[in-house]
Structure 1
Amino acid sequence: MAAASSNLESCDAKEATNRVAVRLREQIGDISNILLATLPGIEEEVLDCFSAILPNERIFGGSAADNTDAGEWSLLSEDGVFSAILSAVGLKADVSFGSCLLPPYEKRDQLAKITKCEGRFIYESL
């Protein structure tokens, strides 16, 4: 297991992702899973960059976003707590890992049907 981060105040998302990927590989070599956290708004760009650099790794996590637009989120890294950082933990294949999403869910009578999407983006629903 290895941790790496890159400050987004000094570089763009692509450069930050490259720095993090290089540091993770230097520390543990082959990576099987990545636990990721970054700023809201650049998640898809970071995922695309990781997919180009480390195409076979599974990525879990993504955004530090919450239910407000205040921009007061914080992210943990090996160097401390920051507001503008890309932070990741890399796991080798021999580390057992699983995930389960348990959001605060209340069953409702309302249903929606997605009528137009592309990849992970929903453009239209009923």
Structure 2
Amino acid sequence: MALLAVATENISFGVGGVSIDDFPSAREAGKAAIQAAIDATGKKGTPKLVLITGSVGHEEELLAGIEDVIGKDVPVLGGSAGDNTITGEWKQFANENVYSNGISVTAIYTNLKIGWAYEAGYIRSKNRGTVTRADGRIIYEIDNRPAAEIYNGWTGGTVVAEKRETGGSILSDTSYYPLAKIIKN
């Protein structure tokens, strides 16, 4: 758990949170959460910065919903909720509510200059492939070959060798070897 405490008259914070299960899509939940956060500040216009914690598996859609409300020019920082065993016991907190499949957003308004930086700590790999079969966030094939076989080769056999045979979640095992997708503008 991370906590941030700030006391100043120069910054307005608004927190909004919703359960994704209460909406037809995660995108709609993202819209509702950011709007609730904006409304909680009592301010007009777009915030200067947004902080987010969302449920695993919904990140892209939550961000799309936030973008629908505030546009592309406001920095959105944060990440996915997690737990120690990657078993879905993660939680999101917003105001007096706790969600198991939700989103918590903080909208920050200020006239002060805000600076921020992002450092992922990952190094770009020379490995390249095209996902040729997937279902949602589960990749079955890369370049028409079993994804586990390709990924295992890319990581030098250090990540998924055992689970290629036994199956199971590789989410925690792959945290240090993430796959990325190229987004063209």
For the aligned pair, the TM-score class normalised by the smaller chain equals 0.7 to 0.9
Q: 1:102 to 1:7 in 2, by over 3 A?
A: same
Greater Cα offset, 84-93 or 20-29: 20-29
Question: SS at 2:21's partner residue?
Answer: coil
Taking structure 1 as the reference length, the TM-score comes to 0.72
- The size of the alignment, in residue pairs, is 115
CA–CA separation in structure 2 for the residues paired with 1:3 and 1:45: 19
What's the offset of the Cα at 1:115? Answer: 3.5
Structure 1 residue 52: deviation in Å? 2.4
Q: Could you tell me how far apart the structure 2 residues matched to 1:119 and 1:73 are? A: 28
Which one of 83, 92, 102 corresponds to residue 100 of structure 2? 83
Seq. identity, %: 21
Residues 1:119 and 2:158 aligned together: no
- Residue 114 of structure 1 and its aligned partner are, at CA, apart by 5.1
- C-alpha RMSD over aligned residues: 2.8
Structure 2 CA distance, aligned partners of 1:111 and 1:37? 25
C-alpha contact 2:16 2:37 (8 A) present in aligned 1: yes
* 1:94 to 2:111 alignment: yes
Structure with bigger strand share is 1
Provide the residue aligned with 2:88 in structure 1: 71
2:54 corresponds to 1:38: yes
Measured at CA, do residues 96 and 88 of structure 1 come closer, stay the same or move farther in structure 2, by a change above 3 Å?
farther
Aligned to 1:2: 14
Matching residue's letter, 2:51: L
- The 3 A distance-change label for structure 1 pair 29 and 82 is same
Report the CA distance shift for 1:118/1:8 in structure 2 as closer, same or farther (over 3 A).
same
Larger relative contact order (Cα-Cα within 8 Å, sequence gap ≥ 6): 1
1:123 is matched with which residue?
none
Residue number among 55, 63, 67 corresponding to 1:47 in the alignment: 63
Shift of 1:73: 0.9
Q: Secondary structure at the match of 2:65?
A: helix
TM-score (norm 2): 0.52
Gap change, CA 1:32 and 1:71, over 3 Å in 2: same
Answer whether contact 1:36 1:61 (CA < 8 A) is retained.
yes
Structure 2 CA distance, aligned partners of 1:44 and 1:119?
12
Residue 3 of structure 1 aligns to which amino acid in structure 2? V
SS of the residue 1:49 aligns to: helix
